[in-house]
Structure 1
Amino acid sequence: MRQLNAWKKMVSIISVATVLVTPLTGQAKDAVKIAFIGPLTGGVSSTGLGGRNSAQLAVDQYNADPAGKYQVELVKLDDECKPAVGVQVVTRAATDRSIVGAVGHYCSAVAIVTVDTFHRFGLPLVIWGAVLPEITYGNNYKEVHRVNGTMINEGKMAAEYVHKAGFKRVAMIYDTTDYGKGQGVHFTDALQQYPDITVTGSYGVDVSQQDFSAELTAAQRGNPDVIWFGGLTPQGVAIKAQLERIGISTPFIGVSGILNEGFIAGLGPAVAEGVVSFHNGAPIEKYAHGKEFLAAYGAAGFKEEPDAYGPFAYSATKLLIDAIEKVGPNRAKVRDALNATRDYESLVGTINFDEHRQNITSAHQYVVQDGKWVYWVDSKYGKGPQ
């Protein structure tokens, strides 16, 4: 509470200072627009709203600093986690020359079809959540950068967990978007180093599908020790709920697409209990400035939680703003400044872009315990027998 009050006091002082200093200098700050793009409605909106709020916090903190050169406006665009909608809103942002850069995309299926547009119009993009490797590694678009990790990391950690847990037989269910298929490929590749583990069956499901009884019945015939899911929250909830209804209690693990409050809310704490997931970010409070971020986020009065990807949206926004501060509101110059990112200290740790403008990160494991996602090593599951 003391830290929270101190933060509020600091913001008040900065705000007053801004009011006092600006009239004295007689210089109004130039306005600069950046875009936030993510799923603000639909089944994965909890992550999108947490990302939006976190990006807004970064903007507000910058604007409160009288030393900043510009007054930044965050233009918020809803891609609905739908590729066609994503192309529409990215085109709208890219053709608006007043928008200097974008912090974009949680859904890989959207990001992979919009990178061409960012490149064609020269709009710098910093990705805050999409994990499909091809978004950065599948092209040489200098406009496209990513602060979060990829599903390669997630797949390796999931395979390692399956091995350490002693599971020998794995059933795979994944959605047939680029995201789901990609997750399946990288998980399968990672399993190759464990020859004692067998994939008993692999089942692709459409994102509009609601009845999974055929796939679940077929999967159960293979007598799996664990069911792996590669997809997003809406289908993850539906599949886990149907498993519960037909009496299949096989352990359930999933990719980062289910690591959000919506997954637990959709199932209820009892059904979600013990589900394991993997994510390229550590718990917020584990970061060096994580508690400060949470205090500032709380003081800002946002209704939604920052969720697992909020820290990445915050870090991506600060990185973009700092590039604009350094070189000015020019798309080409901002792109080049972002390309050169090395040893940039952020909320989520040090950001270093490789030759594909991909930040180097590590994956982390989580589990649902008592109605919350808990860091595996801090959970009763991680401390006791698996």
Structure 2
Amino acid sequence: MRPKIARFGGVVAAGLAVTLTLAGCAGSSNDNSSGGGDVTEIKVGFMGDLTGENSAIVIPPRDGAKMAIKEYNDKNPKVKITLVEYDSQGKPDQATPLVQKAISSDKISALIGPAFSGESKAVGAILEQGKIPSVSPSATNPGLAKNGWTYWHRVVANDDDQGPGVAGFLVKAKSPKKAFVLSDDQEYSVGLADAFEKEFKAKGVTVQRDKFSKDASDYSSTVSKVKAANPDVIAFGGYYAQGGRLLKQLRDGGVTATFATGDGSLDAQLVSGAGAKAAEGAVIGCPCKIPFGAAEGPLKTFKDNFKAATGNEPAIYATEGYDAATAIIKAVEAGNTTGEKINEFLKTVSFEGISKPIKFKANGEPESNEIFVYEVKSGAIALLGSAAEAKLS
């Protein structure tokens, strides 16, 4: 996932400035040791939208990461981990100076995040230059794995998997002849919409498409286009803040086609934003498995521990935040405290995570890429199962 794309020129300028700033510390150990002795503590960052309009997607993985690190520190290890939070509000232009501070001033040894793809794209080269490994619990844009970065990782499948998973599920469940693909202009939104469109066309479905501004509130022009097209299904690439408003206006405008979207809208605020009646039957895909109704096993244990630690039920990407932190924790447990050594460890890390088996490909992608499907039922979001096996109610 990821909010809006940064302007290219701004990213380049910021990247050059940070590169110059980091030149003097590129060889730094970032070990936060005191007095030149053995390392007893390191700092690990968490970056994402913690107070912005899409923060409900990022707070659960932040809380999952905090829980994993607290469990580790409670064992009284030789090297403790301090989690340092960076609230980017999901904005690339805010993420850039925060990453500079994290590396040059705070001297983090690793980063959990960034949570969204736009900010991940903006700061990836800076983290690479600073030799700081990152593990994102939620950034899904496919292009992130194509930058040649060696310090970048994620624990979720990308939109080239999510798009076909959701669109393929709709084709199987609804046998549509016509689909309308919508998005706002954020990087995540456009990328997911592209993946929807590609899969629909591959399945022989006729596709029409429209895009609107992230900051728009009146979607009447889009609603008119969709109504005139009379599609069998609608697929929206975007976040719940926009998705809820869009769905409400579509239903108010008389559009009744099945509405589907991706992980950026997997939150109860999609339902509250649209209204329970308008949201009923909406389909949401995600490369995540939220432990709804877990009755036993590791998911049940995680659910109980998360509720005890936070007072909340685990939501989207809570398990992925825990697993992203655990990958870094395992590196530290093995005696690695610098960014370079942690990164080397991540190349071979392999463990059974809460969300899925955690192992990274050479380009930082996860080995596991399963997509899950959810549906709004009676005003609540319910897990239907994997995209390959799920059925609409």
- TM-score (normalised: structure 2): 0.84
Aligned partner of 2:137 in structure 1 is: 128
Structure 2 counterpart of 1:108, from 112, 117, 120: 117
Amino acid of the structure 1 residue aligned with 2:306: Y
Q: Which runs of 5+ in 1 are unaligned?
A: 1-26
Q: Distance in 2 between matches of 1:45 and 1:58?
A: 20
CA offsets per residue over residues 196-247 of structure 1, 9 Å max, x none?
Answer: x111x21111111111100110121111111110011111011011112223
Q: Mapping of 1:73-88 within 5 angstroms?
A: 73-88=82-97
Indicate conservation of the 8 Å contact 2:331/2:346, yes or no: yes
In the alignment, is residue 183 of structure 1 matched against residue 171 of structure 2?
no
Q: Distance in 2 between matches of 1:159 and 1:264?
A: 21
Q: Distance in 2 between matches of 1:120 and 1:295?
A: 40
Of 302-311 and 357-366, more deviation after overlay is shown by 302-311
Secondary structure, aligned partner of 1:203: strand
The sequence identity of aligned pairs, in percent, is 25
Amino acid of the structure 1 residue aligned with 2:267: N
Aligned partner of 2:375 in structure 1 is: 367
In the alignment, is residue 90 of structure 1 matched against residue 99 of structure 2?
yes
In the alignment, is residue 254 of structure 1 matched against residue 261 of structure 2?
yes
How much has 1:321 moved relative to structure 2?
1.4
Amino acid of the structure 2 residue aligned with 1:71: K
Structure 2 counterpart of 1:332, from 333, 340, 346: 340
Aligned residues: 351
Q: Distance in 1 between matches of 2:209 and 2:345?
A: 43
Q: Distance in 2 between matches of 1:292 and 1:276?
A: 28
Indicate conservation of the 8 Å contact 1:49/1:304, yes or no: no
Indicate conservation of the 8 Å contact 1:122/1:331, yes or no: yes
Secondary structure, aligned partner of 2:202: coil
Q: Mapping of 1:110-259 within 5 angstroms?
A: 110-136=119-145, 138-164=146-172, 165-195=174-204, 197-199=205-207, 201-259=208-266
CA offsets per residue over residues 65-123 of structure 1, 9 Å max, x none?
Answer: 13x22221111111101111121222221223531101012221221111111111111
Secondary structure, aligned partner of 1:327: coil
Indicate conservation of the 8 Å contact 1:36/1:77, yes or no: yes
Q: Which runs of 5+ in 2 are unaligned?
A: 1-36
How much has 1:377 moved relative to structure 2?
4.3
Q: Distance in 2 between matches of 1:97 and 1:76?
A: 11
- TM-score (normalised: structure 1): 0.86
Q: Mapping of 1:28-43 within 5 angstroms?
A: 30-43=40-53
Q: Distance in 2 between matches of 1:383 and 1:228?
A: 17
Q: Distance in 2 between matches of 1:37 and 1:377?
A: 30
Secondary structure, aligned partner of 1:204: strand
Structural RMSD (CA) = 2.2
How much has 1:320 moved relative to structure 2?
0.7
